C-alpha cells in the first residue's frame, strides 16, 4: 500500500467523511454479505484490513460470530481499541497471517484486496488459514470494462491496480477458490464518491488532500473517469489448495 493511502485511511477528515467504515457500502454491505455467506452462529471470522474495527464489532454483536481483525496500520488498530477495548484486533499483514492452518470459517476483505500488491501470496495465506469450504468475502473496486487506461491509478492503488471480473476469476480460481456469488454494487460506490464531494467540496479537493498537488490530483481524477470503475460484492469458497 502506498504512503498516500496510509495517510488517507489514517486521516481524521476522511474517517469522518466515510462515516462508520472507510469504504463504500458501509455496514449495510457487510450485512448483505452475511446474508449471502450464511455462516452458522459462533463461526470464526477474520476481517483483514479491519480499519477502525466496525465490521468486527457488527459480526460479534449482531451475528454472534467469533470475530477478529488485523490491519497493517498501528494508528487504526489503536483507534479501534480506543472505541472498543474488548475487540480482538491486532496489527498484522495479509502476507503473514498470525493464524493456524485451517482455523477459520470465514474471511472478510472489505475494500482491501485491490491494495495487495502480491495477490497470489495474499490468496495463498487466506487459503492456508481457511477451513475447507470456508468462505472469503471480497467487496472492492473492479474494472467494469477492459477498455480505458488506468495510468495514474497504480500510484494510489496497488501495483497491479484494479482488475476486471475475468481477471479476478482467474486469480481466485488458481488460488483454490470457487465463485459462489458476484453482485455489482456500483451504486454504493457512486454514493460514496458523492458523499466525499459533499464533505470535501469537490472531487479535486479530495484528491488534492491526499496527493498534495493539483497536477497529480487532476491526472488521477481523469484516470478514474476513463477507467470505468465499479464496485462489487463477491463470495468465494475454498475448494482446494492453490496451484503454486
Residues that bind ligand SAM (CB under 6 A): 1, 9, 21-23, 48-51, 55, 70-73, 76, 93-94, 110-112, 115-116
Distance CA 194, CA 215 (A): 22
**β-strand pairing of 130-143 with 229-238:** antiparallel
Task: Pick between residue 98 and residue 240 the one whose CB is nearest to ligand SAM.
Answer: 98
Q: Looking up cell 446474508, which residue turns up?
A: 35
Instruction: Supply 155's cell numbers.
Output: 500510484
Q: Which residue is nearest to ligand SAM (CB)?
A: 49
Q: How far is the CB of 86 from ligand SAM (least distance, A)?
A: 18
Task: Pick between residue 31 and residue 178 the one whose CB is nearest to ligand SAM.
Answer: 31
Contacts of 86 (CB under 8 A, 6+ apart): none
Cα-atom radius of gyration of the chain, to the nearest Å? 17
Q: How far is the CB of 49 from ligand SAM (least distance, A)?
A: 3
3-state helix, strand, coil in the chain (%, to 5): 45, 20, 30
Q: How far is the CB of 9 from ligand SAM (least distance, A)?
A: 4
Residues 177, 227: contact at Cβ < 8 Å? no
Task: Pick between residue 94 and residue 217 the one whose CB is nearest to ligand SAM.
Answer: 94
Q: How far is the CB of 96 from ligand SAM (least distance, A)?
A: 9
Report phi then psi at 51, rounded to 5: 55, -125
Q: How far is the CB of 112 from ligand SAM (least distance, A)?
A: 4
Coil, helix or strand at residue 238: strand
Q: How far is the CB of 123 from ligand SAM (least distance, A)?
A: 13
Task: Pick between residue 140 and residue 149 the one whose CB is nearest to ligand SAM.
Answer: 140
Task: Pick between residue 7 and residue 165 the one whose CB is nearest to ligand SAM.
Answer: 7
Q: How far is the CB of 65 from ligand SAM (least distance, A)?
A: 16
Task: Pick between residue 21 and residue 223 the one whose CB is nearest to ligand SAM.
Answer: 21
- Render 93-146 in DSSP notation, one character per residue: -GGG--S-TT-EEEEEEES-GGG-S-HHHHHHHHHHHEEEEEEEEEEEEEESSS
Task: Pick between residue 50 and residue 150 the one whose CB is nearest to ligand SAM.
Answer: 50
Amino acid at each position: 500500500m502506498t504512503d498516500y493511502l496510509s495517510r488517507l485511511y489514517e486521516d481524521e477528515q476522511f474517517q469522518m467523511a466515510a462515516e462508520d467504515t472507510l469504504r463504500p457500502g458501509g455496514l449495510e454491505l457487510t450485512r448483505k454479505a452475511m446474508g449471502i455467506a450464511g455462516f452458522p452462529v459462533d463461526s470464526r471470522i477474520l476481517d483483514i484490513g479491519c480499519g477502525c474495527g466496525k465490521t468486527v464489532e457488527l459480526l460479534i454483536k449482531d451475528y454472534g460470530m467469533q470475530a477478529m481483525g488485523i490491519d497493517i496500520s498501528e494508528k487504526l488498530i489503536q483507534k479501534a481499541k480506543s472505541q472498543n477495548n474488548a475487540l480482538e484486533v491486532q496489527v498484522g499483514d495479509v502476507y503473514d497471517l498470525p493464524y493456524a492452518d485451517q482455523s477459520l470459517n470465514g474471511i472478510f476483505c472489505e475494500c482491501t484486496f485491490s491494495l495487495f500488491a502480491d495477490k497470489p501470496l495474499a490468496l495463498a495465506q487466506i487459503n492456508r488459514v481457511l477451513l475447507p469450504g470456508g468462505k472469503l468475502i471480497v467487496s472492492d473496486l473492479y474494472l467494469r470494462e477492459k477498455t480505458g487506461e488506468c495510468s495514474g491509478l497504480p500510484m494510489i492503488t496497488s501495483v497491479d491496480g484494479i482488475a476486471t471480473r475475468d481477471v479476478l476469476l482467474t486469480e481466485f480460481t488458481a488460488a483454490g477458490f470457487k465463485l459462489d456469488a458476484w453482485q455489482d454494487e456500483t451504486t454504493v460506490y457512486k454514493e460514496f464518491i458523492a458523499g466525499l464531494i459533499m464533505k470535501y467540496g469537490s472531487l479535486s479537493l479530495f484528491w488534492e488532500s491526499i496527493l498534495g498537488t493539483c497536477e497529480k490530483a487532476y491526472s488521477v481524477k481523469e484516470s478514474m473517469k476513463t477507467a470505468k470503475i465499479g464496485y462489487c460484492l463477491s463470495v468465494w469458497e475454498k475448494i482446494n489448495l492453490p496451484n503454486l
